[in-house]
A and B are shown apart, each in its own frame.
Chain A
Amino acid sequence: MIISIASGKGGTGKTTIATSLALSLSNVQLLDCDVEEPNCHIFIRPILESRNPVSIPVPGVNQDKCDGCGRCQEVCAYNAIAVVNKEVLIFSELCHGCGSCTYFCPNDAIEEINKKIGIIETGRKNEIQFAHGKLDIGMMMSPPVIRAVRKHINKKKTVIIDAPPGTSCPVITAINGTDFVILVTEPTPFGLNDLSLAVEVVRKLGIPFGVIINRSDLGNKKTDEYCVRENIPILMRIPFSKKIAEIYSRGDPVVKELPEYREKFQGLYKKIKEIKTG
């Protein structure tokens, strides 16, 4: 089963839930798809085994073969190519790597060059298989790096995906096609607002889901009422605890310092399996 953890609002506890689950179960693979700001490695401290660049193919023009016809510019949907005075100018930061210009060049004058936009690192910690992606600074688009992390999905394991915050393309790329989504929220107006947006996304993708309410005693009852109204299972409630906040702030995993939580996360997994089969 592939379980993804998303939220809408940032800072609700996705990484805490993802790492706690990974550390409480067996036969687990943890994939950190928050490639703009990956944090799982801080808590899991995996021993890294490989590091590979992630590239997107951007066009490179062979001046000898190019006659400045401008066909590449015509087909580019992203304004990444300009052709003026028969000179081809490429703006690779706008390129999505679709391959259209290369295909349509009548003179075979374009070849694809790899432009590095990030890296993937894989490794392990005890029994946990681990991989994460990191978007390079100054690069715009995270989905290609997220796709590269997801290529490592090992279906023989229980796969846990830590998704980025938000509700747009990076989150979609991270959670699409997974078997279950855990939405982590806090019981505040900000949390509820963003949760309802995230729920719309998950429903649009047609994936079963449930909610974890973190810092459950700091806020109001509206999130509970919302979940009941919308028939959304509340999988777990974690009250605010200065102890947990402090453990987290040091970069230590909660289930290591408070082992009673291990059982709670095993229970969470059981509940998810029940929902999936029930």
Chain B
Amino acid sequence: MKQIVIISGKGGTGKTVITGAFAALAEDKVMVDCDVDAADLHLILDPEIKQSHIFRSGVTAFTHKELCEGCGVCKTVCRFEAVKDDFTIDPVSCEGCAFCSLVCPQNAIQMKTNVSGKWFVSGTRFGPLVHARLGVAEENSGKLVSLVRQKAKEIAESKNYKWVIIDGSPGIGCPVIASITGVDCAVIVIEPTLSGLHDARRVIDVVKYFNVPAKIIINKYDLNHDMTKKIERWSEDNNIQILGKIIFDKAVVESVVEGKTIIEYSNDGVTKALRNIWRLLEEELDRTN
């Protein structure tokens, strides 16, 4: 069983569309949407929710005003600017350290468990999908990402599936780290822009830091041939394999609007490129057994 994550550093490069394509092309797989604070994969996989669970993470301070004597010690110790002038707590800024709660001489501050979101196991036309929805303005510590990944891994192991295909999120912080650790391959989607290359470099540094093998897909490559060449040279210099290049095609947006993967929508350049990319990825990962 192999785990693949699709990330990019920069947002909007095509991670979710490519994850959807892999879902359509791979056999015997589980999909996971690890972009938990802006999940989109379900929009093209049309999931039927089979299990729904509440996700609890961390605690938030809460002041019982009737017990508060207004001494203000809580405000002096809080490093996250979460204690307001009236000594009630701003739940958005509170990081749950409980320092205020411990120092309050009246025991007026209680730490309450957060219901931070929900996670789901669903069925789709391509197999099971594990996905989640982090609550509005909640902390994205990576715990929910780890949870959905663990569930997907359990499903894959119990059904003897071959692949776990993970849609990652933009950035390089804890949610991304939680989605890449322990995978067999991180597929980096790069668009041929200066920003795209800049951001990909940073996420590839993170991938290397956690000892995960990386491969590259150049998406919308015809928007700037010079930048594409630059990325190709950089990849070669850094010994990272390019799985393939995909052309820019408005059909991709059309397929998303229709709620389909691009593979189902058209048989043109984008689909052909993705078929080749998937085949190559499969071969590469089968080899490293």
Contact = CB atoms under 8 A, between A and B. Distances in A.
- Please determine if A and B sit in direct contact within the complex, based on CB atoms under 8 angstroms apart: yes
A176 B93 contact: yes
Nearest to B11: A10
B49 interface: no
A11 B138 contact: no
Interface in A198-217: 200-201, 204-205
Contacts of A98: 79-80, 95, 97, 99
Interface centre among B11, B102, B205, B206, by most A CB within 10 Å? B11
A15 interface: yes
A32 B206 CA distance: 21
A167 B137 contact: yes
A141 B174 contact: yes
B171 interface: yes
A168 B95 contact: no
Interface centre among B194, B196, B223, by most A CB within 10 Å? B194
B170 A205 contact: no
A197 B9 CA distance: 21
Interface stretch (A229-237, A240-248, A255-263, A267-275): A240-248
Interface stretch (A46-54, A59-67, A124-132, A185-193): A185-193
A166 B97 contact: no
Contacts of A249: 191-194, 196, 223-224, 227
A166 B140 contact: yes
B213 interface: no
B1 interface: no
A42 B10 CA distance: 14
A176 B98 CA distance: 22
Contacts of A10: 10-12, 38, 170
Nearest to B138: A168
B48 to A, nearest CB: 18
Interface in B64-97: 77, 79-80, 92-93, 95-97
Interface string B41-58: 001100000000000000
Contact of B194 (A9, A37, A200, A251): A251
Given A188-B257, A246-B224, A197 B37 contact: yes
A10 B219 CA distance: 15
Taking chain B's interface residues, is the majority helix, strand, or loop, or is none over half, making it mixed? loop
A142 B173 contact: yes
Contacts of A170: 140, 171, 173
Interface string B212-250: 000000000001100100000000000000000000001
B261 interface: no
Given A11-B12, A167-B37, A204-B92, A77 B59 contact: yes
A156 interface: no
Contacts of B16: 190
Interface residues of A, number: 56
B38 A250 contact: no
Contact of B250 (A15, A140, A218): A218
A167 B206 CA distance: 22
B202 interface: yes
Contacts of A96: 95, 97
B43 to A, nearest CB: 5
Nearest to A15: B195
Nearest to B78: A98
Contacts of B59: 77
B9 A37 contact: yes
Interface stretch (A22-30, A82-90, A99-107): A99-107
A138 B206 contact: yes
B167 to A, nearest CB: 11
Contact of A12 (B12, B99, B224): B12
Contacts of B223: 242, 245-246, 249
B172 A172 contact: no
A250 B209 CA distance: 29
Nearest to B226: A250
B231 to A, nearest CB: 11
Interface centre among A77, A97, A142, by most B CB within 10 Å? A77
A137 B205 contact: yes
Contacts of A104: 102
B148 to A, nearest CB: 15
Contacts of B193: 248-251
B40 interface: yes
Given A168-B175, A249-B224, 5 more contacts: A15-B195, A77-B98, A100-B98, A100-B102, A189-B44
13 contacts: A9-B38, A10-B12, A12-B12, A36-B173, A37-B202, A39-B199, A75-B98, A78-B97, A104-B102, A138-B210, A189-B40, A245-B223, A250-B194
Interface of B: 9-13, 16, 37-40, 43-44, 59, 77, 79-80, 92-93, 95-99, 102-103, 134, 136-140, 142, 169-175, 177, 191-196, 198-199, 202-203, 205-206, 209-210, 223-224, 227, 250, 253, 256-257, 259
Which 5 pairs, one residue from A and one from B, show the smallest C-beta to C-beta distance?
A10-B11, A11-B12, A251-B194, A98-B97, A168-B140
